[in-house]
């Protein structure tokens, strides 16, 4: 299969590192004009410089914006123009004992992980529908289905994101626009390395710490290792392409078999 997104504009939130960067790079490699988003000039410039070094022909647009706010969402849209592919990748996570998650933390997680995505979908979906083609993808998590005790607020926000995607898919029914969520499993990113060391002995070398984390805290994984960001990006690029025209309203898993279910 050849994924060709030439002539399409893709906006990826939180795309200066980790999964977001891998997705942005994959979409650029497929020919899309890619809007790289982050909260600082330095992080966005650095990500674009790195990506241009890897893909000299890529068409990349900087969008320095905090998309958890309406002002930031407006700034991203102004930088992007008409968006054909929206990837809601921005998200926060962290381990907190269940009884210590206060109201402010609950609100922060929902505003970042859910409302930022809903706002951008609301802003971009009408244009996609008018043009008769578009892709909306939101990066969820295995934690949406297997709520971890150490971060209930994160799991609940990702469950809500699945509902948001399914609902907007119904709003786009019959339009040529698809709306899906991607259930990502435990993935190797710098943020996850920090998270792993919240739960295992910090004195362990990384490879040992990763194995201990998977053995103790994610024993359901059939992959038995952390997923690499590029493995998430591969699925996102497929779902963003014309090849995935019959997949909509779905929660598609790239979780290493972590969720113990034969259906999402």
Partners of 9 in the β-ladder: 33
Query: Does 154 participate in catalysis according to the annotation?
Result: yes
Taking only the tens place, the pLDDT of each residue in 163-216 is 999 999 999 999 999 999 999 999 998 888 988 998 999 999 999 999 899 999
Residue 190, pLDDT score: 84
Residue at token pair 């407006």: 74
Mean pLDDT of the chain: 96
Structural contact between residues 4 and 240, judged by C-beta atoms closer than 8 angstroms: no
Domains and their CATH numbers in the chain: 9-254 (3.40.50.720)
Consecutive H or E run containing 142 = none
Give CA separation, 49 vs 16, 159, 247, in Å. 11, 35, 34
CA distance 58 to 6: 11
- The single residue of 154, 197, 238, 258 carrying the catalytic annotation is 154
Can you name the residues that pair with 119 across neighbouring β-strands? none
Cβ(240)–Cβ(85) below 8 Å: yes
Q: Give CA–CA dist 176/57, Å, rounded.
A: 29
pLDDT bucket at 159, cuts 50 / 70 / 90: very high
Q: How far apart are CA 32 and CA 84, in angstroms?
A: 9
Residue 72 has pLDDT above 90, yes or no: yes
Q: Quick check: 131 pLDDT over 80?
A: yes
> From CA 245, how far away is CA 223, in angstroms rounded?
29
Could you give the CA distance from residue 77 to residue 61 in angstroms, rounded to a whole number? 11
Chain mean position to CA 190: 15
Positive or negative, the CA dihedral 90, 94, 238, 2 is: positive
Classify strands 60-64 and 9-12 as parallel, antiparallel or unpaired: unpaired
For residue 189, the model assigns a pLDDT of 87
- pLDDT for 264 beyond 80: no
The CA R_g of the chain, rounded to the nearest whole Å, is: 18
């Amino acid at each position: 299969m050849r994924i060709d997104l030439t002539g399409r504009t893709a906006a990826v939130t939180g795309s200066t590192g980790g999964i977001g960067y891998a997705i942005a790079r994959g979409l650029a490699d497929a020919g899309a004009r890619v809007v790289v988003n982050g909260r600082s000039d330095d992080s966005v410039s650095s990500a674009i410089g790195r990506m241009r070094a890897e893909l000299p022909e890529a068409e990349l647009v900087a969008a320095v914006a905090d998309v958890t706010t309406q002002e930031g969402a407006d700034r991203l849209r102004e930088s992007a123009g008409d968006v054909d592919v929206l990837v809601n990748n921005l998200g926060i996570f962290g381990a907190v004992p269940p009884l210590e998650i206060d109201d402010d933390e609950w609100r922060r997680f929902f505003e970042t992980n859910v409302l930022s995505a809903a706002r951008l979908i609301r802003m971009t979906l009408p244009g996609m529908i008018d043009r008769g083609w578009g892709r909306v993808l939101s990066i969820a998590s295995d934690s949406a289905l297997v709520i971890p005790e150490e971060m209930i607020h994160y799991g609940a926000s990702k469950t809500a994101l699945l509902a948001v995607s399914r609902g907007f898919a119904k709003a786009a029914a019959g339009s040529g626009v698809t709306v899906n969520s991607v259930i990502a499993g435990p993935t190797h990113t710098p943020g996850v390395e920090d998270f792993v060391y919240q739960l295992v002995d910090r004195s362990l070398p990384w490879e040992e710490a990763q194995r201990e984390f998977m053995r103790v805290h994610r024993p359901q994984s059939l992959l038995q290792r952390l997923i690499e960001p590029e493995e998430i990006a591969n699925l996102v690029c497929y779902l963003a392409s014309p090849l995935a025209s019959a997949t909509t309203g779905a929660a598609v898993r790239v979780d290493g078999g972590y969720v113990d279910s034969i259906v999402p």
